[in-house]
Structure 1
Amino acid sequence: MKSFSDKLLWGIIVLLAAAMAITAAVKLSPLLNPPQDISLPLNAACDLHQGPCTTSLPGGGRLEFSLEPRPIPVLRPLRLQVRATGIKADSVEVDFAGVDMKMAFNRPRLVSGKEGLFTGEATLPVCVRNKMAWQATVLVEADGQRIAVPFRFETKR
């Protein structure tokens, strides 16, 4: 039979492990769910398989987003391009998430080029389903605010 001190020690270890897990979750929360000052609605008419999609931003700016190659493949490098006009974008990330299925964290930071052009690469993982619905949320940091612009598309194996 375990002594009282053994039970107490294990109780303390379990409490410390739980406290560490909660602390880690709180610290990682902004990374996994970044705060958004402005969230724009989804443009259902956009088809990234056909070409770039453009969205009007608050204050008169515009954002154009494209993925290549087309049709959009899985397990192959994708070229990402975001062009921000009418605003001074400081940084751009694209957060890829499954619409109907949780997927691993996939948010590349794009590299700034000339005249509001940001480029980068990403790879979409393969899914057990033949068809997978994705949401690519373009996250733009501009004028101290984070603007989230969602785009949806499907991939097929």
Structure 2
Amino acid sequence: MTGLALAACAWYAFAHWLHRDSDVTWFPPTASCDLHAAPCSATLGDRGRLTLHVQTNGRIDALETLPLDVEVEGVKATRVEVDFIGRDMDLGLHRFALSASAPGRFKGQGQVGMCTQTVMPWRARVILETPAGKMGSWFDFDVVRS
């Protein structure tokens, strides 16, 4: 029993270590947007801007491959990652590294997980690694179970 409790504690600590973001400078989204239908942007203070486009046919669905496109302006990003995290429920880490496709453009694929709720609130977090450190923003959206 003690071993099981220790394993659970170790897993909890490891999961929170993976989610750590204390070294990221966060900037709020510029305005509310519908990530299902259009790109979402955030101004990175006076440093630049990032835009996330999830290329869907109008709806983000669980367990579907999502083409991701991030455009970065005014900041030299050396690495870009997109996290999908449950806003109301810990559903684990869904982090996807994107590849540079052109200067200031990063592309890749991601996926949101399945949930038992009819409507699952998600947050897409875009994290940029730059010579000045990590910075990022987030965009909230809901996925309706089909």
- 1:71 is aligned to 2:93: no
- 1:92 is aligned to 2:80: yes
- Whole-angstrom CA distance in 1 between matches of 2:37 and 2:4: 50
Larger relative strand fraction: 2
- Whole-angstrom CA distance in 1 between matches of 2:7 and 2:86: 29
- Whole-angstrom CA distance in 2 between matches of 1:124 and 1:134: 8
TM-score (normalised: structure 2): 0.84
- What is the CA distance between 1:30 and its match in structure 2? 3.9
- Whole-angstrom CA distance in 2 between matches of 1:28 and 1:102: 10
Secondary structure, counterpart of 2:18 in structure 1: helix
Aligned counterpart, 2:107: 119
- 1:30-62 deviation digits (Å, cap 9, x = unpaired): 422133341112455121122101111123411
- What is the CA distance between 1:118 and its match in structure 2? 0.7
- 1:111-157 deviation digits (Å, cap 9, x = unpaired): 11212111111121221111111001111111231112011001112
Gaps of 5+ in 1: 1-13
Larger relative helix fraction: 1
Aligned counterpart, 1:154: 142
- 1:107 is aligned to 2:95: yes
TM-score (normalised: structure 1): 0.78
Q: Which has the larger radius of gyration?
A: 1
- Whole-angstrom CA distance in 2 between matches of 1:142 and 1:58: 14
CA contact (8 A) 1:111 1:118 kept: yes
CA contact (8 A) 2:27 2:43 kept: no
Gaps of 5+ in 2: none
Output the amino acid matched with 1:49: H
- Whole-angstrom CA distance in 2 between matches of 1:90 and 1:122: 19
- 1:47-97 deviation digits (Å, cap 9, x = unpaired): 112210111112341101011212111111001111101110010111111
Aligned residues between the structures? 144
CA contact (8 A) 1:55 1:62 kept: yes
Listed as ranges, the matches of 1:1-20 within 5 Å are none
CA RMSD of aligned residues (A): 2.4
Question: Alignment partner for residue 42 of structure 2, among 41, 48, 55?
Answer: 55
Output the amino acid matched with 2:73: T
- Whole-angstrom CA distance in 2 between matches of 1:145 and 1:20: 33
CA contact (8 A) 1:35 1:146 kept: no
CA contact (8 A) 1:36 1:148 kept: no
